[in-house]
Structure 1
Amino acid sequence: MNVIIVGGGIAGLTAALRADALGHRVTLLVKGALGDGCTAHAQGGVAGAYGPGDSPALHALDTLQAGDGHGDPLAITALVDGAHAAIAALVDAGVAFDRTADGDIARGLEAAHSRPRIAHAGGDATGAAISTALLSRLRTSTVRVREHVFVADALTCADRVIGIRSIDGAEVRADAVVLATGGAGQLYTHTTNPAGTTGDGIAIAVRAGAAIADLEFVQFHPTVLAGAKPFLISEAVRGAGAVLRDATGRRFMLDEHPDAELAPRDVVARAVARRAAAQAAPVALDATGLGATVLADRFPTIDAELRRRGIDWSRHPVPVTPAAHYLMGGIATDIDGRTSVPGLWAVGETARTGVHGANRLASNSLLEGAVFGARAAESLTSSATPSFRWPEASPPHRRDGGRDRPGATSAAPTDPSFSRSALQRLMWNQLGLIRTDHGMRDAVAQLHAWTAPSPTSPTAHEDANLLAVGRALASAALSRTDSLGAHSLLSPALMGAA
């Protein structure tokens, strides 16, 4: 069958290579150049219960707990049970994971994992190693690759997806379309994501009528170098022993959670933000106890970048701040990547498989792309119906900012002029780490007061997609009235005490 895969990260590449091996005629479309996405930037590694004293059951429990109990057990089981085969496939593709002296894959520890189970390559260059290996394998396949193709929409006929349309108006027909376009980090002022993460796949799916779920859950990474140009400092650094300190040098995470710096990301990120606000300065990540040799050998990418910026982190703590990092929600799929629209699949960060719940467990993202990318490819010719109950349609977006909610007050006046920077500020301030009912209502009103830019350029198309995803995210957040995982609401009582 003819298959179009949109996106060239680990999920899209895995799906393309597996579909090609199964005999499908595969066309891979990427908005920019191959290797431009998030995968190549991933530092931590690939989680997988492959060592002594570990098991898929323990990995599943950690995943469910990190997700604040909101994850789908069926999807989590598929993820953790598929880890061994996924890592083996990456090794077969040429990924040189770091090894112990005995030749076994080295296992790192990261936050909210009960065991060291993170396979890494090049110390902290796992994503780059995976991207390089899969792209090398792609060049020996029969996959047709087209770079710099910006997909605008899915073509539909009789409630089925039958191909895609690019922003230049070109149409390509296919028996199946797989969206693997990544997340929407560019919704926020501060993000670890590259420039192309503008929610394109989710916006395409919304326009095609596909079900969307859990968009309110946005993960903010707690340790991003503070300053004009964000640079992520991997959670694996804290797994190796680095600690967080306030302006007085005090290790404040000991008061926040029993696991301190290795608490779930949402917990650590909020604690970092609160402490930074209280002291009007960034907190510090102190890795000096690890020593210069360990830092250079285990984290060569981070070490080189910090030194390039004039920071010797073996001698001085590093100022850090949270930044938008990962979208747990997205296009709702079953465990084989099928969406609610026939002919349309979604994999990777653009999909909501249910494995991450309300907060992603560290290093499950690369694993998700590898496991579900392969599963999607293998399901393309299956006549099975999704073993999944699609989420109910999202509540209508309320242009009044939600004033029908009991006790709600009028939204603030809106600004009719749209710009990406204004959108990013609004999302950061009202739909970021800490949210309030009135702030979310004001955001919904503003988002719907803005008019989507005319799609006259690639940037305008991206802006329109960001606005569409921002509206859906804000509506989902407003509809969830209790704090859960990354969706953290500041109660009126706490607001009064602030």
Structure 2
Amino acid sequence: MTTSARPQDAPLVDRIAPLAGQIAVVGSGIAGLMTALELAPRPVVLVTKAALGRESSSLWAQGGIAASVGPEDDPEQHIDDTLRAGAGFCDPAATWGILTQARAAIERLEHYGVRFDRDATGAYALGLEAAHGRHRILHAGGDGSGAAITEALVTAVLNTPSITCLTEVEVRRVCVTDGAVSGLWLQTDAEAAILPTANVVLATGGLGGLYDATTNPRGNVGQGVMMAARAGAVLTDLEFVQFHPTALDVPRTPLALVSEAVRGAGAWLVNASGARFMADTPGAELAPRDVVARAIHAQIAQGERVFLDATRAIGDGFAAKFPIIHQFCVEAGIDPARDPIPVRPAAHYYMGGIATDLRGRSSVPGLWAVGECAATGLHGANRLASNSLLEAVVMGRSAARDISAHAVTGPQAAPRTAPQVLPRPETAEVRAIVSRHLGMIRDGAGIATALRDLRPLAMAEGPETDAAIVALGIACFASLRAESRGGHARSDFPGAAAKPVRRRMTLNEIFDTSGALLAVESIPQPEIVT
């Protein structure tokens, strides 16, 4: 197959002309690739702003994919672990609906060429990660699992004739006519054009790039959430941002991840004095991510530096077991077999996003969302480690089945006038606000400041507007959640509410609510569980 409808140097409008009416998938991480593959033989155009699979968090995922395939495991145990880690906020139906498809998802990945690591007996080599009660993490290529899965799916996509790939093309808007999807606003640095289509799948990843300290590609700033919001879609759980406890604490942008699997292999967290400060916490180093991240944050706030010490548990075997992490450490002058690894929390995964059902449907007809930009309810307030790649595969397949059954296909009307090229988005001002006021530990005064500073940026039409829309949503939802739960922690409301409320809003409702919040001094404190 070819990677575009016309040669890369042809005008964009000519490249997309033969693609009018095709199902469009936006994003080429694992969720987008899987959706496109599962739609075959239906014609699909896959649009990505970089090369296939690049600039995606999937490519950088080290930990692997969680699946209850071990002899002493079953979906019920996986579900129980997920519900506990989700801090009382998981949707039980979504949790059951996704996790019971784990074995089928693994088999489908193997069908597309993924080769999972196996032990000497030929069984899956299953790892252990935080808050999992069983060894259930499958790896492919050790700590390069995301890259191995992504590359296998990219190869499968390139060998699927029904998929046309538009690379180095950015999607800036989802076009809506009479309340339903009617096209995609595409552009390069030099030109813009509308791809007419009634069926769009957003698989655009997360928003860690809105934070100074992140393990995500810098350009991941919630583009899918923004486009869905502008199209009128319902959003949910926007306040819940997961900070990975152990990013490599060296000068690097973005920060390199030190996988949870290192702690699963027995590494300890210690401060500069050598004290193992997680020892008395239930689960110790393998407590849920929000617990571990806040404990590390507290140490750093006290002036300590935090290290992950793998010298005792892994030692000379580190390079063989974790080759990618080993290389990151070596580049920073660290020998993880003999030196403790400096670590710090960093924005890593987004539990909120576009509200979808278990078919991937958003509230806008013709718009589906899968992967990190979507909020199915599986992750609750705090994602259980390695559930994200499983969700990406399961929901990509689910959306593809739904689209195959219900998609509106056929030629679509071309736009009467070509759109203008929108200015390149900027994020520096928004990133500074988000990093300062909407980070791991929040408070009412900081959230109010974020609301006040973000609202005019979000309501304008400047280069910071797209990022500001997403950030305003985080601030608005955070202001309303007067409690600490999972990925949303407030120093002024350190307890959890007895009856947590899940909120769903459109962009217009976010604007209305944020304006109302700025007009009042405080929000009543809910009943708190002590």
Q: TM-score range by the shorter chain?
A: 0.7 to 0.9
2:356 maps to: 333
1:490 maps to: 491
Match among 8, 25, 32 for residue 43 of structure 2: 25
Q: Is the 8 A contact 1:6 1:29 kept in 2?
A: yes
Q: Is the 8 A contact 2:250 2:332 kept in 1?
A: no
Match among 286, 292, 300 for residue 276 of structure 1: 300
Q: Within 5 A, what are the aligned runs for 1:243-322? A: 243-255=268-280, 257-278=281-302, 280-322=303-345
CA distance in 1 between partners of 2:460 and 2:308 (Å): 41
1:394 maps to: none
1:346 maps to: 369
Q: Is the 8 A contact 2:458 2:466 kept in 1?
A: no
**Structure 1 length as normaliser, TM-score?**
0.88
Offset of residue 66 of structure 1: 0.5
CA distance in 1 between partners of 2:429 and 2:143 (Å): 34
CA distance in 1 between partners of 2:466 and 2:387 (Å): 26
2:180 maps to: 160
Q: Within 5 A, what are the aligned runs for 1:141-160? A: 141-142=160-161, 143-160=163-180
Amino acid across the alignment from 2:68: A
Secondary structure in 1 aligned to 2:206?
Answer: coil
Amino acid across the alignment from 2:150: S
Amino acid across the alignment from 1:302: I
Match among 386, 389, 394 for residue 363 of structure 1: 386
Secondary structure in 2 aligned to 1:380?
Answer: helix
The range that moved more, 359-368 or 308-317, is 308-317
1:424 maps to: 431
Q: Does 2:9 match 1:8?
A: no
Offset of residue 224 of structure 1: 0.6
Amino acid across the alignment from 1:320: V
Secondary structure in 2 aligned to 1:450?
Answer: helix
Amino acid across the alignment from 2:90: G
Offset of residue 450 of structure 1: 3.2
Q: Does 2:240 match 1:214?
A: no
2:69 maps to: 50
Q: Is the 8 A contact 1:226 1:282 kept in 2?
A: no
Q: Is the 8 A contact 1:189 1:421 kept in 2?
A: no
CA distance in 2 between partners of 1:367 and 1:205 (Å): 23
1:77 maps to: 96
Amino acid across the alignment from 1:239: G
1:231 maps to: 256
Offset of residue 122 of structure 1: 1.1
Offset of residue 93 of structure 1: 1.3
Amino acid across the alignment from 1:470: A
Q: Is the 8 A contact 1:337 1:376 kept in 2?
A: yes
Structure 2, unaligned runs of 5 or more: 1-20, 408-424, 496-530
Query: Which stretches of structure 1, 4 residues or longer, exceed 4 Å deviation after superposition?
Result: 451-455
CA distance in 2 between partners of 1:169 and 1:134 (Å): 29
The range that moved more, 199-208 or 167-176, is 167-176
Match among 437, 445, 461 for residue 438 of structure 1: 445
Q: Is the 8 A contact 2:234 2:355 kept in 1?
A: yes
CA distance in 2 between partners of 1:492 and 1:471 (Å): 20
Amino acid across the alignment from 1:445: R
Offset of residue 490 of structure 1: 0.6
Amino acid across the alignment from 1:28: L
Encode CA deviations 1:133-179: one digit per residue, 9 max, x unaligned.
Answer: 00010111020000011111111111101221114431111231000
Offset of residue 24 of structure 1: 1.5
Q: Is the 8 A contact 1:210 1:339 kept in 2?
A: yes
Offset of residue 294 of structure 1: 2.2
Q: Is the 8 A contact 1:444 1:475 kept in 2?
A: yes
Amino acid across the alignment from 2:362: T
Q: Is the 8 A contact 1:40 1:131 kept in 2?
A: yes
2:469 maps to: 468
Offset of residue 453 of structure 1: 7.7
- Percent identical residues: 47
Q: Within 5 A, what are the aligned runs for 1:115-154? A: 115-142=134-161, 143-154=163-174
Match among 104, 108, 116 for residue 89 of structure 1: 108
Amino acid across the alignment from 1:123: G
- Root-mean-square deviation (CA), in Å? 1.8
Offset of residue 424 of structure 1: 1.7
Change (3 A) 1:383 1:304: closer
CA distance in 1 between partners of 2:268 and 2:28 (Å): 35
Offset of residue 60 of structure 1: 0.6
Encode CA deviations 1:280-311: one digit per residue, 9 max, x unaligned.
Answer: 24211100013443211211111122112210
Q: Is the 8 A contact 1:290 1:314 kept in 2?
A: no
Structure 1, unaligned runs of 5 or more: 385-417
CA distance in 2 between partners of 1:474 and 1:50 (Å): 39
Secondary structure in 2 aligned to 1:319?
Answer: strand
CA distance in 2 between partners of 1:378 and 1:297 (Å): 40
Secondary structure in 1 aligned to 2:296?
Answer: helix
Amino acid across the alignment from 1:435: R
The range that moved more, 232-241 or 34-43, is 34-43
Offset of residue 53 of structure 1: 1.2
Q: Is the 8 A contact 1:109 1:239 kept in 2?
A: yes
Q: Is the 8 A contact 1:223 1:322 kept in 2?
A: yes
Amino acid across the alignment from 2:266: G
The range that moved more, 354-363 or 423-432, is 423-432
Change (3 A) 1:321 1:141: same
